[in-house]
Structure 1
Amino acid sequence: MKLSEILQLINIKQPLTKDFELEGIAPLDKASPKEIGYIDQKQYLNTLENSHAGAVLIREEFKENVPTHIQAIITDNPHLAFARISHFFEKKDFNQEGREANIHKDAKIMPNVYIGKNVSIGSDTEIMPGVVISDNVSIGEGCKIYPNVVIYRDTIIGNHVFIHAGSVIGSDGFGYAHTKTGEHVKIQHNGRVVIEDDVEIGANNTIDRAVFGETRIQKGAKIDNLVQIGHNCVIGPYTILVSQVGLAGSTTTGRNVVMGGQAGTGGHIHIGDFTQIAGRGAVGKNLPANTKWGGHPLMELDEWMKFYVSLKRMLKKNKDSKEK
């Protein structure tokens, strides 16, 4: 569909210097001349300089920052316009078209398993009852997919990966834009999930696919039960996430990061190599490598422990004074 046609359908009336067949949405640093991106905040204007995007959704106040090779599409709410455009490129989870699954003769597929089109399953992999595998999924060798796991479209799973019962891999991320009157407009997530070799994922995990690009779980990571990983996260090699950890979208970790039970992050945060977060730690900023943290608000772990002891002493002193 032409860019002009899509803009008309989302009620943006603007003459174009050059119309073209719009092929998709993409981040500006990865967009092609036939894709569109958006900028909603001033700090991202520097991504325009080296972008190859054909067009960008942007506010009037920032239009002078747009290079001449990128077409500026002016809108009061670029994020909302982006959400509406994303629906034109929504991918189906089950197309019912394509080749039948390529299942290695040494793989074991138990009863009551659904397998979509263009699926590949490697040798010595075991798929247990109740598993649903959508289209265009690749599963490597020596994997175990336990009962009632759901694997959404385009997911790539490496070798020797264990995914325990009830986990959902590749579901939509939680992303919405909002109108002036408060309605929520869903952002279609057209990316995928990639799980590298030797990863183990516990029961009832949810790992969201990316808006575009990928959510990636790198080699050797171990994830406990009941963990939520948001869209576009990258979990570094040999990282350990303990039960009920929650990672907001675009969180990234280095290698061998450890996060204790119920720890969580805000979005777009990086945690450095070999860093540890104590249980219930609330990460709201980037953390350097080889450090330990805890508490809410987050403090270095030694400081947090001293604060906790001081707080207990203060409470006890206050209680004793009242009893007198």
Structure 2
Amino acid sequence: MKLSEMLQKINLQPSITRDFEVATLAPLDHASQNDISYIDQNKYLKNLSTSQAGAVLIREKDAYAVPSHIQAIVVSDPHLAFAKLSHFFAKPQFCSPCFQDNDAHDQNIGKNTIVMPHVFLGKNVKIDEGCLLMPGVVISDNVHIGKNCKIFPNVVIYRDTQIGNNVYIHAGSVIGSDGFGYAHTQMGEHIKIEHNGCVVIEDDVEIGANNTIDRAVFGETRIKKGTKIDNLVQIGHNCVVGEHSLIVSQVGLAGSTTTGRNVVMGGQAGTGGHIHIGDFTQIAGRGAVGKNLPPNTKWGGHPLMELDEWMKFFVTLRRMVKKKD
């Protein structure tokens, strides 16, 4: 669909100097000349000079920063316009089943892989050798599962997910569901942002029961090699969890959180969005991470402070309470 046609369909009529067939929505650093991107925060203006985007949704006050090779689409609310445009690129989550209840079809299933009864496989699914899929597993289209994986009962894996070798996903987990992303109109209505990216799970990852790992808005949500995730963990869209990390029960990672390798997060710890946690950093249980954290450090508490300081603060607080009693 042409850029002009898309904008008209969402009731926008800005002046356009170059009309083109839009390929997709993309972040500035990955966009090509046939893609649309957007800027909703001033901190991303610096990325415009190196971007190859064909057009960018931007506020009028920031349009001065758009270089000549990118077309500025001036709108009052870039985030809302982006949400509306995302609907043009939404993909169906599930097509007709190609393989259900062990009814043999032309499936790309490796040697010694066992698909138990009541498993649903969509189109273009590839499962390598030595895997076990237990009853109630639902796998959507274009999913690739590597060698020697175990997918426990009632796991749901959405479209385009890529899973490496020796991965265990325990019962009830959902991989690749939509992230929690909405833009808001002036009347307070919530406009869904379609999440058209994917989830990538690398080798030797174990995912506990009843986890949710959301697909990316665009690009990917990635769980890197050797990471172990406990039960009841929520990982938001576009997160990247570094190699050999340990994520304990009831941790919540907000969208676009990234971690280095060997990060440990205690139970019920959480992050705000767009935060980076450095290599070999530890977060104590219920720690609330609201800022970037350097590598090789330990943190705890709410508000977050270095672990030694937090423990001293907690002891002092208890002494004060006892004195009052």
State the TM bucket, normalised to the shorter chain.
over 0.9
Structure-1 residue corresponding to 2:289: 283
Question: Which residue of 1 is the match for residue 55 of structure 2?
Answer: 55
Does the Cα contact within 8 Å between 1:127 and 1:146 map onto a contact in 2? yes
Q: CA deviation at 1:95?
A: 3.1
The normalised TM-score by structure 1 is: 0.97
Partners in 1 of 2:235 and 2:42 — Cα distance? Answer: 27
Distance 1:141 1:55 in 2: 42
Unaligned stretches of 5+ residues in structure 2: 99-104
Partner residue of 1:3? 3
Amino acid at match of 2:184: H
The answer as to 2:95 corresponding to 1:89 is no
Alpha-carbon offset, residue 41 of structure 1:
1.3
Instruction: State the partner residue of 2:101.
Output: none
Matches of residues 231-246 of structure 1 in structure 2 within 5 Å? Answer: 231-246=237-252
C-alpha distance after superposition, 1:129-153 (max 9, x if no partner): 0000000000000000000000000
Q: Is the 8 A contact 2:97 2:120 kept in 1?
A: no
How many Å separate the matches in 1 of 2:313 and 2:293?
Answer: 20
Task: For residues 164-186 of structure 1, give each alpha carbon's deviation from its aligned partner in whole angstroms, at most 9, with x where no partner exists.
Answer: 00000000000000000100000
Give the 3-state SS of the residue equivalent to 1:170 in structure 2: strand
Once the 2 structures are TM-superposed, how far is the Cα of residue 100 of structure 1 from its aligned partner?
A: 4.5
Checking the alignment, whether the CA contact within 8 Å between 1:100 and 1:119 is kept in structure 2 is no
Identity of aligned residues (%): 72
TM-score for the superposition, normalised by structure 2:
0.97
Asked whether the 8 Å contact 1:37–1:57 carries over to 2, the reply is: yes
The amino acid across from 1:143 in the alignment is C
Aligned-pair CA distance for 1:15? 2.2
Residue 171 of structure 1 is matched in structure 2 by 177
**Residue type matched to 1:55 in 2?**
A
SS in structure 1 opposite 2:243?
coil
User: SS in structure 2 opposite 1:194?
Assistant: strand
Q: Give, as a single letter, the amino acid of the residue that structure 2 aligns with 1:30.
A: H
- Partner-residue secondary structure (3-state), 2:86: helix
Alpha-carbon distance in 2 for matches of 1:101, 1:275 = 43
2 CA distance for matches of 1:72 and 1:96? 41
Instruction: Name the SS of the counterpart of 2:324 in structure 1.
Output: helix
Distance 1:97 1:141 in 2: 23
Name 1:203's counterpart in structure 2. 209
Q: Distance in 2 between matches of 1:288 and 1:105?
A: 45
Matched with 2:110 is 104
**What's the counterpart of residue 193 of structure 2?**
187
1:104 Cα deviation after fit:
1.1
Task: Give matches, 1:24-39, under 5 Å.
Answer: 24-39=24-39
Moved over 4 A (4+): 97-100
How far, CA to CA, are the matches of 1:100 and 1:74 in structure 2? 50
Q: Give the Å deviation of 1:101.
A: 2.9
- 1:216 and 1:257 mapped to 2: Cα distance? 15
Amino acid at match of 1:180: Q
Corresponding residue of 2:65: 65
1:237-296 CA deviation, whole Å, 9 max, x = no partner? Answer: 000000000000000111100000000000000111110000000000000111000000
Provide the aligned C-alpha RMSD in A. Answer: 1.1
Structure 1 residues 100 and 78: alpha-carbon distance in aligned structure 2, compared to 1, 3 A threshold = farther
Alignment partners' CA distance in 2, 1:63 and 1:273: 37
Cross-structure match for 1:118: 124
Q: Confirm whether residue 312 of structure 1 aligns to residue 324 of structure 2.
A: no
Instruction: Specify the code of the residue in structure 1 equivalent to 2:244.
Output: Y
For 1:235-314, what aligned pairs fall within 5 Å after superposition?
A: 235-314=241-320
* Secondary structure of 2:87 counterpart: helix
For residue 48 of structure 1, give the secondary structure of its aligned residue in structure 2.
Answer: helix
